[in-house]
Amino acid sequence: MPSDRLLCLHLSKTISLVPLLTLSILSSCGTPGIPLPPSLDLPKPVTDLHAKRKGDKVYLTWTEPARTTDRQPIRHFGTTRICRSGDRPLETCPAIAEVPSISPKIPSSKNAASQTETYTDILPESALTSPFADLTYAVEVMNGRSRSAGLSNKVLVPAAHTLPPPSNFAAEVTADGVVLSWVPVARRVEIPGLYFLYRIYRREENSKMEITIGELPLDATPTPRFVDHNFEWEKKYSYHADVITVISEKAGSEARVEGDDTPEVAVFTHDIFPPAVPSGLQAVFAEENGRLFVDLIWNPGTEGDMAGYNIFRHERGGAAVKINPDLVKLPAFRDMNVTSGKKYYYSVSAVDVRGNESAGSEEANEGVP
């Protein structure tokens, strides 16, 4: 045996006599340092649990831990316990379900995407005990030996009842806008501090984003309807609605719970609706520097998509003829093509940007001396 190997063996036997000197020499002999305690393989507790309630479902999301509490990769994955409590603080996990823990990939960089886990809790009637109580949720990630490092962060959702969605939800495109109507929802019982709203949503075709376009109190009218004016013509939209439970006496603030959605209804906002018929038409003869003309004025249209007006004229017993080559942009027109001794009859129509034209206005007449 080489002499340096014999020296190392001899020194290791005398470590109790000269521990510091021996430790220094042993390190030079390639012997490992002070050994680390074995890892308990406990997954780090979840810190980003989120909960959202809609109807009788609570949707939980969290990031699955990839490392243990001592920063080592998890070797043996167990299950994740779903914890819910409604009547006491959540100190331990009263598990309502267990789901398999999926072995996540350990991020190779700070920008690497984490693995998100989900669970949907369908609430039993027994969990909805009080409209002003909260349900507390947490998750507990276990290792292969059913041990954990503790509960995740805790999240709260209101425990109030929700109402079913409106029935017979329908949408109709009209000249005034998209008219939405439905059969009213009956509340279960009157509870002070609790009220309900219809909420209406709109989504443009091929878009995942929906927007809230209006709310209406549940008891506002026996025949509920809502008119959407803020859309664009010649587009496809989908609409749906739900009933919002508003808890106004919850710790001095207001909490809201969404009910389930109606089925979506789709519409195509094809504009086949002409502007309103112009009103207030007046015709006045005038002369300037020997030139004869008839001035026409009328009330302007109020539609946002107004493009202009057409002017029609005829003599007694004759057919009306359009006398403007291009659309008249302002609610006024001067007819310079008049002859002394004749009487003219005028009417005006309105035209929108898509070419829809109204009927003619009431006639106004004027004679030319």
**Pair (143, 186) in one structural domain:** no
**Pair (310, 338) in one structural domain:** yes
Structural domain tally of the chain? 4
- Segments forming the whole domain that contains residue 213: 167-268
Residue 329 is assigned to a structural domain of this protein: yes
**Pair (304, 337) in one structural domain:** yes
**Pair (287, 354) in one structural domain:** yes
Residue 214 is assigned to a structural domain of this protein: yes
* Cα–Cα distances in angstroms (integers) from residue 113 to residues 66, 104, 106, 110, in the given order: 12, 11, 10, 8
What pLDDT, in 10s, does the model give residues 307-366?
999 999 999 999 999 999 999 999 999 999 999 999 999 999 999 999 999 999 999 999
**Pair (28, 72) in one structural domain:** no
CA 180 to chain centre: 19
**Mean pLDDT for the stretch of residues 153-181:** 95
Residue 43 is assigned to a structural domain of this protein: no
Q: How far is residue 120's CA from residue 125's CA, in Å, rounded to a whole number?
A: 16
Residue 55 is assigned to a structural domain of this protein: yes
Residue 277 is assigned to a structural domain of this protein: no
| Total Cβ atoms within 10 A of residue 1 | 6
What pLDDT, in 10s, does the model give residues 7-28?
444 434 444 434 443 434 444 4
**Pair (78, 19) in one structural domain:** no
**Pair (239, 151) in one structural domain:** no
Q: Which two tokens stand for residue 38?
A: 């074995």
**Pair (4, 90) in one structural domain:** no
Q: What is the pLDDT of residue 38?
A: 64
**Pair (5, 30) in one structural domain:** yes
Which of the listed residues 158, 191, 210 is the one where a domain comes to its end?
158
Backbone angles phi and psi of 314, in degrees to 5: -150, 160
Residue 316 is assigned to a structural domain of this protein: yes
Give the Cα-Cα-Cα angle 130, 134, 135 (nearest 5 degrees): 110
Q: Which two tokens stand for residue 50?
A: 């989120």
What pLDDT, in 10s, does the model give residues 103-122?
655 555 554 456 889 999 99
**What does the chain come to in residues?**
369
**Pair (97, 176) in one structural domain:** no
Q: What is the pLDDT of residue 268?
A: 98
Which of the listed residues 119, 141, 158 is the one where a domain comes to its end?
158
Q: What is the value of pTM for the model shown?
A: 0.74
Residues in Cβ contact with 355 at an 8 Å cutoff, skipping those fewer than 6 apart: 307
Which of the listed residues 268, 296, 330 is the one where a domain comes to its end?
268
pLDDT, averaged across the chain: 87
* Cα–Cα distances in angstroms (integers) from residue 337 to residues 15, 290, 292, 317, 324, in the given order: 124, 13, 8, 19, 11
CATH number at residue 323: 2.60.40.10
Q: Picking from 36-40, 213-217, 229-233, which range would have the lowest pLDDT averaged per residue? A: 36-40
Residue 56 is assigned to a structural domain of this protein: yes
**Pair (310, 350) in one structural domain:** yes
Residue 41 is assigned to a structural domain of this protein: no
**Pair (321, 352) in one structural domain:** yes
